[in-house]
Structure 1
């Protein structure tokens, strides 16, 4: 490929061969074209183009690229992109293009011949590079639909179940202990569904807005607020706060999702009638992966049963997620994804309270 691109633009005979070898083996579909009255006429294509679009080099060479791959209702968009290329501009756009097997989504890059934009001469042609985004785009749409429908249905039906179960419990006050126990179990399951929908929403917000630029937050006020909320929500639980090392860390207000989830798990999954939880902010004993710089750890400790090893492994070690090996809920996933967003690390240990010590390590600001 790129035989014509090298004409008059190479410093030696080896360069065209190198360019040909490179473009022929990239996974993106690449088309070389000449601009004839503003219309891109195909001069060559690489192997990936043939595989993705389903048109052979022989049948499309010498033809208008737009006539082959641009749906009629997208022609004006394509002509504008070609005009940009003709003016020497490298341009990018997510586009819909037609293949032999139907429409697909691509990231399009129009690249004029190198050097032409620096002269007064009209650009004679260039390259069209197509990165196939079809599956990515479709998966994003599917996840969005599932996220909205699942969360909506979970929340609505959980509210219905919880509301009716509360009424049922009131009516069963003088009934059998077995009936009351069954109703109480249903009520707990309904509240778990409500919590699941809430955590799914938090995860969506974490994934939709990654921390592209470093931000900072003092975690102490947030930790104190989370502790107060859980004392009100679970008055039988003893929630302590110990701030040994206050200061700013590299995170933002979404850090609250992670801390709140860990405290909630520590209370909800503890069979003790009076569970004990301690949230502690301290200088990290060691940095993740021996990284340089100072790190701060937010420890959430409890006196409950240890988190099963398989649940820790699937979160931390990249163990394969299967229908039976995925963790029992979204809480730890929410924490891991939140901490990962801020370039931190999650770790599990044993607390001197007798249960878990789940720590969030973040770089000091």
Structure 2
């Protein structure tokens, strides 16, 4: 054998070793198979397959793969995928497969390889790669049930409580001060529940429709619309809007949720009878390099009490989320999740009005 040929062989073996090392240590379950009359027969598996499916290499090697992992009622689906693989097509599909402990859901990829390099004259095998989606899928379904049932029932019950309490307050008409105060407290709590249900609905819309494509929108009309609405709802509040020529940002109409939530919080959590709010849009100048002009900041400022550090920290540093440390409401979460969907961030500062300066930073389109 020539030195060149020997060198090529050593190089191939080294590459193969690295390749085997990778397959052995990836977290996805991988099966290498030979195609025998169009049916995949196991030639090797990695450690992750043993861990996820619960079948040892010695007992499954040389066996038809489908007999071990495909439920009887899914055989037709599996045979169609195998036929695609045999024809040289790479398959991607979410599937249900049988493990030693029951059914689990996977993202399946069937990847054929060309056996002509081995002198076999065509396709003779491939890889089946399984990414376990079981917990993700189950959690999605659980959250969907909780969201639909809980949010629907919460909103309906809050509406009933608020309606009856409003009638009760009208009938009392201040006759019994203590009872009136109790009824007013119940009414406020009911309206807060209604608000939570609405915010949860907005969060669901944000999470269900991630921004996969680049979109742009001018935030100024949204800001002015939100401010106009809140001026009507709270005529005692002073809400200012600064003119802006910052231009469009990378976002869509859901940006309104974030801005609306911040303006609402600035008013609702201010004990002053005449809360003051200022909204301004400007180019980001927080960076020292020339790239800072690629970002736009939307500031919502107030003269109310500072947002507690625990509330701010749980948004900025989400590693601190615990059953007892998660924030007292959904408003800031709605803002954070909305802005996050657009590749931006939320930050907290102190305003020269004396209160909070909550800013949304978004990429200029």
TM-score, length basis structure 2: 0.92
Could you tell me how far apart the structure 2 residues matched to 1:297 and 1:45 are?
A: 51
Partner of 1:71 in structure 2?
A: 71
Partner of 1:6 in structure 2?
A: none
Could you tell me how far apart the structure 2 residues matched to 1:108 and 1:251 are?
A: 33
SS in 2 for 1:113: strand
**RMSD of Structure 2 on Structure 1 (CA):** 2.1
Give the superposition deviation at 1:291.
Answer: 5.3
Could you tell me how far apart the structure 2 residues matched to 1:295 and 1:289 are?
A: 12
Partner of 1:364 in structure 2?
A: 364
Give the superposition deviation at 1:120.
Answer: 11
Deviations 1:123-161 (A, max 9, x none): 111111111111111111111111111111111111011
* Worse-matched range after superposition: 94-103 or 121-130: 121-130
Deviations 1:291-318 (A, max 9, x none): 5443221111111100001111110123
Could you tell me how far apart the structure 1 residues matched to 2:61 and 2:207 are?
A: 43
Partner of 1:5 in structure 2?
A: none
C-alpha distance 13-219 of structure 1, shift in aligned 2 (>3 A): closer
Partner of 1:129 in structure 2?
A: 129
Partner of 2:6 in structure 1?
A: none
Contact 2:39 / 2:64 at 8 angstroms: preserved in 1?
Answer: yes
C-alpha distance 204-291 of structure 1, shift in aligned 2 (>3 A): farther
Deviations 1:77-136 (A, max 9, x none): 10011111101111111100000100000111111114769x995411111111111111
Find runs of 4+ consecutive structure 1 residues off by over 6 angstroms.
none
Could you tell me how far apart the structure 2 residues matched to 1:62 and 1:175 are?
A: 86
Partner of 1:354 in structure 2?
A: 354
TM-score, length basis structure 1: 0.92
Give the superposition deviation at 1:284.
Answer: 2.2
Pairing 1:138-287 to 2, within 5 Å after superposition: 138-287=138-287
Give the superposition deviation at 1:326.
Answer: 0.9
Give the superposition deviation at 1:352.
Answer: 1.6
C-alpha distance 201-116 of structure 1, shift in aligned 2 (>3 A): farther
Partner of 2:4 in structure 1?
A: none
Give the superposition deviation at 1:363.
Answer: 2.0
Give the superposition deviation at 1:286.
Answer: 1.4
Partner of 1:81 in structure 2?
A: 81
Could you tell me how far apart the structure 2 residues matched to 1:19 and 1:265 are?
A: 55
Partner of 2:57 in structure 1?
A: 57
Contact 1:161 / 1:190 at 8 angstroms: preserved in 2?
Answer: yes
C-alpha distance 229-46 of structure 1, shift in aligned 2 (>3 A): same
* Worse-matched range after superposition: 181-190 or 337-346: 337-346
Partner of 2:335 in structure 1?
A: 335
Could you tell me how far apart the structure 2 residues matched to 1:161 and 1:354 are?
A: 36
Contact 1:243 / 1:282 at 8 angstroms: preserved in 2?
Answer: no
Could you tell me how far apart the structure 2 residues matched to 1:200 and 1:215 are?
A: 24
Contact 1:293 / 1:363 at 8 angstroms: preserved in 2?
Answer: no
Residue 38 of structure 2 is aligned to residue 38 of structure 1: yes
Q: How many residues align?
A: 356
Give the superposition deviation at 1:209.
Answer: 1.2
Contact 1:10 / 1:16 at 8 angstroms: preserved in 2?
Answer: no
Contact 1:112 / 1:127 at 8 angstroms: preserved in 2?
Answer: yes
